[in-house]
Amino acid sequence: MCMTMITKKSFMDGGNWYKGNLHGHSTLSDGALTPEELRKAYKERGYSFIAHSEHDFFTNFEQENEPNFILLPASEVGIRMPAGDIRIFHLHVIMGTDEHLRAATKEPLRHMEPIIWPDFVSIDTAQQFIDDMVARGNIVMFNHPHWSTVEWEDVYALDNLFALEVYNHCSEWHENMGNSRIMWETLLRKGKKLWGTATDDNHNRYPGDIYNDSFGGWVVVKAPELTRNAVVQALVEGSFYSSTGPEIYEFRIENNEVIFECSPVERIYMNGDVRQYQIELGENITSLRKKLRGDEKFIRVECLDKFGKFAFTNPIYLD
């Protein structure tokens, strides 16, 4: 009898790896670097793309794109909360693909267009904002939930999000409130399918300043080319990993076996909807192999190096 070979992959076949920062600010809002200085700094560090996600207005600098460095049109929008409500709803808007824009039922956002939303009344206020942004051809991420003092139920109640900002370097470096991994895992176990990202949220005291909040968290997408269409499609499909240091080369499930490969680290963890049940330890380990038990709903992998820097995959869903 011939056994059926089933392969589920986190990353697309072929293509190239592109490193990017999805969340950052310049002097156009509350950053310390001009847009030109910001781009120069990231290009010098080997990034392929960044998003200008200024507060409460949309920017589109695609005319400044270069063959090896592109800018994603974006904005970070805050919904004002009533007095006494300490939660913060910062929703991250990124222009979608040309296909998203063609399917838009509302007018797409324009360069330097303010985005002001009605004050928060209920979770419906945030949902209406997300739906409006998607109807304009964008994709939307929930930013820094731990720093924002929201509960998992708040995020769980929202639809039409493509991702949760799991690691926010500015919030972590400055306030020890940037890691939302536990919330992400809770949402995944509850059945909320969200990709996870790492970003800087940089405000740029740079270079050499101890308060510098750039270059600490990033995504690496695997895409056929360095264009907005290809990068955003990779984000939507989950063809990327997030990192504060290590590199990930492969994550797939083939013939009921998890196959993971990365740069040298000292710990690799396999997590899912049930208790963690696989770990690899060593000085310079680069892979994990593990047969599935058969009852998993999703699997994801996280690796940590000797400096405490980590990288994590998106889930591969098995249900």
pLDDT at 67 > cutoff 90: yes
Q: Which domain holds residue 54?
A: 14-244
Do 267 and 140 share a structural domain?
A: no
Residue 79: exposed, middle, or buried by beta-carbon count in 10 A (0-12, 13-18, 19+)? buried
Mean pLDDT value across residues 152-179: 97
**What pLDDT, on a 0 to 100 scale, did the predictor assign at position 204?**
79
pLDDT of residue 198 exceeding 90, the answer is yes
> Looking at the domain assignment, is residue 91 inside a domain?
yes
Claim to verify: residue 217 and residue 299 sit in the same structural domain: no
Question: Is 132 domain-assigned?
Answer: yes
Residue 62 has pLDDT above 60, yes or no: yes
pTM above 0.75, yes or no: yes
- Reported confidence tier of residue 5, pLDDT bands at 50, 70, 90: very low
In a shared domain, residues 187 and 308: no
**Contact criterion met (CB below 8 Å) for 164 and 145:** yes
Residues 107-131, mean pLDDT to the nearest whole number = 97
pLDDT at 210: 86
Query: Residue 307's pLDDT band (boundaries 50, 70, 90)?
Result: very high
For the chain, the domain total comes to 2
Taking residues 120-139, report their average pLDDT: 98
**Alpha-carbon gap, residue 299 to 123, rounded angstroms:** 30
Percentage, residues of the chain above pLDDT 70? 97
- The 10s digit of each residue's pLDDT in 23-44 is 999 999 999 999 999 999 999 9
Residues 220 and 105 occupy one common structural domain: yes
**Do 213 and 317 share a domain, yes or no?**
no
In a domain, 265, yes or no: yes
Average pLDDT over residues 97-114: 98
Output the pLDDT for position 6. 64
Q: Decide the pairing of beta strands 257-272 and 7-9.
A: unpaired
